[in-house]
Structures are given as structure tokens and as C-alpha cells.
Chain A
């Protein structure tokens, strides 16, 4: 709870510190704030406190997810060093927005009441709309913001409508009480049309937020238009919060009617996996490929919603963090490369292994991790997700589909690796300049990915 208050306070401080207009102050300050929040957050472990007349509960689930989201933000923030080099007028706002949006993300993993979930999603989303449009001189960025905002509002409406339906059917927003009245309705509420309609609309609304197909159409365009560092934030922290919130809701409120909404979710997952992986294969732009890959990873993450057992939460936690570290490294290097070579396509990475061994290595490790190859965290992410699901024998076929599509994933992730190590450097290509601070951050991220690939118990045994 203190972490929410602190983050809000820090956000306001950043806003005022924005008057200084100096990245030399703002960036270290944001890092410090996040580090403090990360530490403070750990004190809530095993406390299980409820706040605001039981609207928020800071349980271990919330603490763990807050922890990885704050940590991911901490790893992303350094890459803002190269953002807005034109001495953007309102630099402080972005740091404030990121801190504010984290408050939303924390609410999304600690809510106990659907209202809080909604408020959390909105806090997070509004910051994202601003981030999408933050490159004011770029048409693509403006388009991304508008597209994201219009679509986002529309789906927020659907989500809210769904919540209202649930309220109509049960008379409460509290997720535990919803589960109770669903139980009382018999068959977990599956016979109540209003209730099931509500569940369906909520599924659609959150699927949009985590960019699951068929509600994914905004993803490639918005990711492409948004400045890369914010794309990294969007595809990691937002997704983590979204999936965790989704899981919590389905587990705590709607588990009893599993049989009724499960087919919908299975359809969403299969479509997501298919569109994400196949869509990524045909991309020429690395950034669009990462956008499609983020769709496909949403598919793997959502698979955990088909099995409510003690492995599922661990699987989401591990998978999200593994995915986050890998994505941050990939987006971080992409930002440097695309800025300095004026090209976001694979060929921009040609010969990076020769010109910048460190950058190439961290991208290679993150690609291996995203592809799920052992010795990297991504492997255990997939492993835990499949493990969580395999106890549900009806879903064997889904695992087979996911496995086949994971092999497809290897194809497009390795195109980057091949470009970096096997294709010759273009003649006019220059060595990518990066600061030593950024190099250190990339090393830390890469080390984290490998560490979790060797000793997964560090994170998987937390929950």
C-alpha cells in the first residue's frame, strides 16, 4: 500500500522537478524513486492487508507482481536517455506519467473490487495513450495515439458494460462476493444470461488490453508508431498487469462457471497464438515483428487461465518477467540501432555481432529467451506455462498447437540472430554508439535472463 502512496507522491515530485528540464536530474531521480518503491514493496510480504473497505488487498500475489513490474520499469527507464534528444519541453511529464501509470498497474494486481480494476486499467491506459503520441513531430506517433485512444475507449466501454452486467446479476463489485452469488445461482452462474454476458464482455475488454486476437489489430500499428522506449513499457509492464489482473478475476470471481467461458477463451488463445506467430513470420520490420511476438506471448500467458492451480500464478509471474527482460533488451537495442541507422528492418542489424559485440550478444540472448531455448529464462517460462496446463488432460491438444507454434517462433527470432552474426556488415554501416551506462544496463538484463535460465527457482518458488 505504501508503494502506491509513494509512487503517487514521487510522480508529483517528478512533475515539479520537470521545471528543471534536465535529464541529468530527472533520470537518476526516477531510478531512485523506483528503487525505493521496489524495496518498500517487499515489506508488504506476508502482510495480507486490505485497504479502502476491502477494495484493495495487498497479498503476496500483489507484492510479487508489483515487484516484477517495478523492476521492469527500472530496467526500461535508462533507455529514456536517448529519448527526446531535442530537449523536449515537457520532459518531467514522462517520468511522472510512468510513475503514475505504475500506480494503475499495481491496482490492477491488488484489486479486490472490479471498480478498482477498472480504475487501475484506466490510470494505466491514459498514460499509454500519451506515450503513444509522445513523438509529436511524427505522423506515425500521432496516428498510433489516436488509434490506440479510440479503440481503447471503445473496449473500455465494453469492459465497463460487462462489469455493470455482473453487478446487475449479482448486486456487487467485490470479486469474492461475485463468486459467492454465482455459486448461489447454481451451475456457477452459467444459467444466468446477464451474468454470462457480463463475463463475456469482460473477457473481450481485457483481451484488448493484453492484445489478444481477435482484438489485437491495434497492436502492430501502435507499437510501430510509439517511440521505442515506450513500446517496451507497453509490451512488458502493461501486459504483465493485464494478464495478472485477468487471471485474478477469472480465478477469484468466475472460476465456478469455467465450463461456460472456457471455449471462448480457448478460441481466443488459439487465434492469438496463430496470428501472433504467423504474423511475425512475414514481417520485415523488427519492431513489427516484436509487436506480433508480443501478441503471441499474450497467447502463451493466457494459457494459464485454463488451469487454476498453484503452478499458474508462478507461471504467469515467471513468464511475464522472462518475457519482460528479453523484450526490454530487444527494444532497447532496437532503439539505438534504428535511431542511428535510420532503419527498423532486420537488415539494420546486419553485422552487429562484429561492430557491437555486446549489443549483439544481449539481443541474441533475448531472442533465444523469447524463442524459449534452454539456458535462458524464456525456456522455463514456457516450461512452467505448459506444466500448469498439462494437469488439465483435455487441453493436451492446445499444448501441441502451442508447441508447434513455438517452433515457428524460433524461425523469426533467429532471423535477427542470423542478421547479426551471419550477414556481413553493410559498407556504410557505423558502429552503434551507446553509453557505458546503457551497456551496463544491457549486461544486467542479459545476466538476469541467463541467471533465471539456470536457476529458475529464484523466481518460480516465490509464489
Chain B
């Protein structure tokens, strides 16, 4: 029941928000997302940390075809739901100072997207998963395409076509897998996640199914060389859409790998894991090097995101516990850091009307609060010990290192290169002499602090007490491994 509530509450709230014209919409949306977060917290409190799927709900959907409306949460899902419900209120809050045209539509779309995102994380049926996968895409497309920057139309269109293209392959693979489940009668087939886990396909079949599924997830994450939609889309989208995309939507791809790729076609994974790791590691180095060369802050963070996701992808494809656990915890950390960083870019942009690093400088002189928060999030991003990034990247790197020493060594560059581009950005933007644009730069307002402080708290919480979160996902990850190695 809780899962259904989590799933449908934002959609209901979206309909409500649609009815409210004008400024009231953002307040109602904010309250609705807070309620959603409270429901998620309630779920966490009642969650028993074992490997089972909890708060499950199984209703017929297309009964004759054995396709159910099956939702539930295990540890991994729960953490993803927690991340989503934690970030969305902050994203809504971060938009309070923006004057978007037609606010009621904007916030309704954000809430509607939240339903899609939660749906992806709690769906325990392949077709339901696909369903929500696409449901999440439509609102974000419109948010980015209506409220985005000057080049928004072609850029978001490319993003849309690209992701649809990948996901149609995923659908084809799901349909194929569905017909491989036991039974000759239609109703005996099942698209339930457990039915998929029990499939024993020969390795040639698994090999092509792997690519059908991987294509969809790789485009969403995005893994090199499927990333070309990402920097433009992040840059052209309004800040809130960028936060949703980078903070949460990207995790759909990684979550998809964990839930629907690794355990379903383990033989396919073992055939192609080397290639995926190589691609991911290329992505790390490539994303980092390009990030170093960026002059636009938003683009820099977009490329840094490719690098970070590359490491997560490399980690989970090692199929060892450190790698998987690191991947899960790093999904949380990356979501928190990237949302915070994009928000800071937005704050700076709104005061100075520029994102060019060269035009900025000397901001620290007048802004103690902003400087501290920016630096904390930045340190989280470059994986300084005591911050959240360290836990995730350390686990991921040790996972990759176990898999192959050379891969580990190259992947380790992420920390060095990450420090280079992040600190270079910080130096250029915050230190030095004041520029024309940063003259009279005001410190954070109450609203901005209200967004950043929870994020900073989480940076330290995950950095200091990672076990709060690791212990939630540990049994689920253990079970995942046992299914993969069956």
C-alpha cells in the first residue's frame, strides 16, 4: 500500500497543481513533494533490512497475458526512492525564485515525472518498468523543451529520439524474454522480475539480449559512446530539469542495469563485461579531459557527470560486492552532489548573468556561506575522505581493481582529473579578483540556504556514516550477486 501511495500521490498532486493558476502552484507542489518525502521516510522506518521485496502490491493488469501491476521495494529500490523523494522537494524549492511561464504546468510536469521515476524504481514487472520508463521521459522532455534555453528545440528533440530509440530495443528484449518464461499458454507466461530471474537461456541468446537491454540503459546513463545527447541537453535545459536529469533520471539507467540486466542475462554480461568496462573507463578519462577544457560551468559539470557515471558503470559491471555496493552508494552521492552543483551554477548565473568561468572571480570575498557550501559539494564530488564521494568512489575503485589491476589503475585517474577540473573551476569562479560581473555579489538567501543545507548535511552523513545506507542495500545486493552467480 505504501508503495502505491508513493507512486500515485505525485500524480494526484500534479492534477491538483494543474488547477491552481499562478504563484500558488509552486507552494502546493512543494508541500506535495514534502508529503511524498514523509511517506518515503515512513517506508524506511518500517523497512526490515533483508533481501525480500517489501511493501509489495500485486494486482492484475493484463490478466489474460499474465502481466501484473506488481510493485514493491527491496533495499536498492528503497534507496533510489529515498533519493528521488529527497531531491524533488529541493528541486522544487530551488525554483522558487524563478518566474517560469505557466507555473502550474511546470510544477505539474515535475510532479508527474516524479511518479514516473518512482514507478521505474518500484516496478517489479518488466512491462510495468518499461511503462514508467517512458512515462518519466515525456514530462522531462516538455520541461526541457518549453522552459529551456535558446537551442532547446533541436537539442531536446535529439535527446528524446535518442532515448526512445534505445528503449524500444529494451521493449523488444522484454517481449522476447517474456515468451521464454515457462508455459505454453499465454496466461502462463509472466513478465514478473522473478520469472525473468529464473530464465536459463543459452549464452548466444543472452549475448544479443544483453545488447538490446544495454543499449537502452547505456543511452540513459549515458556511457561513452552513447553520451552525445547529454552535454547539450544539460546545458540547454532549465536548471530544475538539469537537476532532475542528472540527479535522478540518470540513475534510472544504472538501476535498470542492476535490476533488469545483470541478473537476467548473467552469461551475456560475462561475455561483454570487459568491453563495457573499457567503454566506461574511456568515458571516465574522456569526460574528465573534456571537462578540464570547458569554459562554461554548466557544461563542465555535465562532462564531469559522464566521468562519474563511467566509474559507476565500471564498478557495477565488475560483479563483485564492493563494485555493486559502491555503485549503489555512489548513485546517492552523485545525485546529491550534482544537484547541489547545478544549483550553485544557477545561483551564480542569476546574479551575474554568465556561466563563463573567465568572466567570474573573487566571489569568496563577499560570500562566506556560498563558499563553504560550494566547496563542500565540490569536495564531495572529487571524493575527498569524510565526504560522500569518497565512500562510493573508494568502493567502486576497489571493485574495479579486483576485477583487473590495469583497469583499476586507469579508472583511478578519475580522482586526480576530477580534482583538476573541479578545483580549477572553483579557483576561477570563487578566488582571484572581482570581475565586472561579480561586483557586489550577494551571499545566499534564505531559500538558497534551505536547498543547500540539507544537501551539505547529506554529503557529510554519507561520508561519515555510510552504513546507514549501505546496510539497507547490502542484503539486496547480496541476493543480486547470488542470482548472478547461480
Q: Which residues of A contact B (CB under 8 A)?
A: 310-311, 368, 371, 373-375, 379, 383, 386-387, 390-391, 396, 399-400, 403-404, 406-407, 410-411, 414, 418, 421-423, 456-457, 460-461
Whether B134 and A374, one on each chain, are in contact in the complex, defined by CB atoms closer than 8 angstroms, is yes
A368 & B161 in contact (Cβ 8 Å cutoff):
no
Give the CA-CA distance A371 to B152 in the complex, in Å.
Answer: 21
Whether the Cβ atoms of A461 and B179 lie closer than 8 Å is no
Whether a CB of chain A sits under 8 angstroms from the CB of B451 is: no
Q: Is the CB of A399 within 8 A of B172?
A: yes
Pairs across A and B, CB under 8 Å, 28 listed: A374-B130, A374-B133, A375-B134, A375-B138, A379-B134, A386-B172, A386-B175, A387-B65, A387-B178, A387-B179, A390-B172, A396-B176, A400-B172, A403-B169, A404-B165, A406-B168, A407-B165, A407-B168, A410-B164, A421-B145, A422-B145, A422-B152, A423-B153, A457-B63, A457-B64, A460-B62, A460-B64, A461-B63
Contact digits for B114-148, partner A, Cβ 8 Å, 1 yes 0 no: 00000000000001001111110010001001100
Please give, as numbers and ranges, the residues of chain A lying within 8 Å of B55 by CB-CB distance: none
Contact present for B176 and A390 (CB under 8 Å): yes
Given contact pairs A390-B176, A396-B176, A414-B160, A375 touches B62 in the complex (Cβ within 8 A): no
A383→B171 contact, CB < 8 A: yes
Nearest CB of A to B353, in Å: 23
Whether, in the assembled complex, B42 has its beta carbon less than 8 Å from a beta carbon of chain A, the answer is no
Contacts A374-B135, A403-B172 given; does A421 touch B161 at CB 8 Å = no
Question: Which residues from B are CB-within-8-Å of A391?
Answer: 179
Do A457 and B62 form a contact, CB below 8 Å, given A311-B186, A403-B169, A411-B161?
Answer: yes
A332 nearest CB across to chain B (Å): 23
CB neighbors of A among B154-179 (8 A): 157, 160-161, 164-165, 168-169, 171-172, 175-176, 178-179
Q: How far is A422 from B138 in the complex, measured between Cα atoms in Å?
A: 14
How far is the CB of A348 from the nearest CB of chain B, in Å? 18
Chain A residues, CB < 8 A from B465: none
CB pair B164 A418 closer than 8 Å: no
Contact of A410 among B127, B142, B160, B186 (CB under 8 A): B160
Contact A422 B146 (CB under 8 A): yes
Inter-chain contacts of A379 with B (CB < 8 A): 131, 134
Q: DSSP class of A's interface residues: helix, strand, loop or mixed? A: helix
Contact present for A421 and B138 (CB under 8 Å): no
Give complex CA distance A407, B178 in Å. Answer: 22
B61 CB–A CB distance under 8 Å: yes
B175 near A387: Cβ-Cβ < 8 Å: yes
Q: Tell whether A407 pairs with B175 under 8 Å between CB atoms, given A311-B186, A373-B134, A421-B145.
A: no
The total of interchain contacts (Cβ-Cβ below 8 angstroms) comes to 80
CA distance A461 to B187 in the complex (A): 11
Instruction: Judge whether A418 and B153 touch: CB under 8 Å.
Output: yes
**How many angstroms from the CA of A461 to the CA of B62 in the assembled complex?**
8
Residues of B within 8 A of A422 (CB): 145-146, 152-153
Contact size range, B: 20 to 34
B454 to chain A, nearest CB (A): 32
Other-chain contact of A421, B63, B142, B157 (Cβ < 8 Å): B142
Min Cβ gap A106→B in Å is 26
Q: Which residues of B contact A368 (CB under 8 A)?
A: 138
Chain B residues within 8 Å of A396, by CB = 176
A159 CB to closest chain B CB (Å) equals 34
Query: What's the minimum C-beta distance from A7 to chain B, rounded to whole angstroms?
Result: 31
Residue of B145, B160, B168, B176 ringed by the most chain A CB atoms within 10 A: B168
17 further interface pairs, Cβ-Cβ under 8 Å (given A383-B175, A399-B172):
A311-B186, A373-B134, A373-B164, A374-B131, A374-B132, A375-B134, A375-B135, A383-B171, A387-B175, A407-B161, A407-B164, A407-B168, A410-B165, A457-B61, A460-B62, A460-B65, A461-B63
Contacts of B146 in A (CB 8 A): 421-422
B157 touches A418 (CB 8 A): yes
Query: Please, which residues of chain B bring their CB within 8 A of the CB of A400?
Result: 169, 172
Across the interface, do A310 and B165 meet the contact criterion of CB distance under 8 Å?
no
Q: Report Cα–Cα, A330/B322, bound state, in Å.
A: 53
Write out the residue numbers on chain A whose beta carbons fall within 8 Å of the beta carbon of B145.
418, 421-422
**Chain A proximity of B15: nearest CB distance (Å):** 13
In the complex, what distance in Å separates the CA atom of A379 from the CA atom of B160?
16
- Residue numbers in A under 8 Å from B168 (CB-CB): 403-404, 406-407
Bound Cα distance A404, B167 (Å): 11
Check A373–B172 contact: CB distance below 8 A: no
Q: Closest residue of chain A to B134, judged by CB? A: A374
Whether A414 pairs with B157 at a CB distance below 8 angstroms is: yes
Tell me the bound Cα distance from A217 to B175 in angstroms: 34
Closest chain B residue, CB of each to CB of A453: B131
Identity of the chain B residue whose Cβ is nearest the Cβ of A368 in the assembled complex: B138
**Cβ contacts under 8 Å, B64 to chain A:** 457, 460-461
Whole-angstrom distance between the Cβ of A300 and the nearest chain B Cβ: 13
Q: A-facing mask of B51-90, CB < 8 A → 1, else 0?
A: 0000000000111110000000000000000000000000
Asked if A373 and B176 make an inter-chain contact with CB atoms under 8 angstroms apart, the answer reads: no
Q: How far is the CA of A310 from the CA of B160 in the complex (A)?
A: 34
State how many angstroms separate the Cβ of A381 from the closest Cβ of chain B. Answer: 13
**Cβ-defined partner of A310 (8 Å) among B61, B172, B186:** B186
Provide the bound-state CA to CA distance between A371 and B137, in Å: 14
CB of B106 to closest CB in A, whole Å: 13
Nearest B-chain residue to A372, judged by Cβ: B168
Q: Which residue of B lies closest to A400 (CB)?
A: B172
In the complex the two chains form, what is the Cα distance from A55 to B145 in whole Å? 56
Q: How far is the CB of B103 from chain A (nearest CB, A)?
A: 16
B177 closest partner in A (C-beta): A390
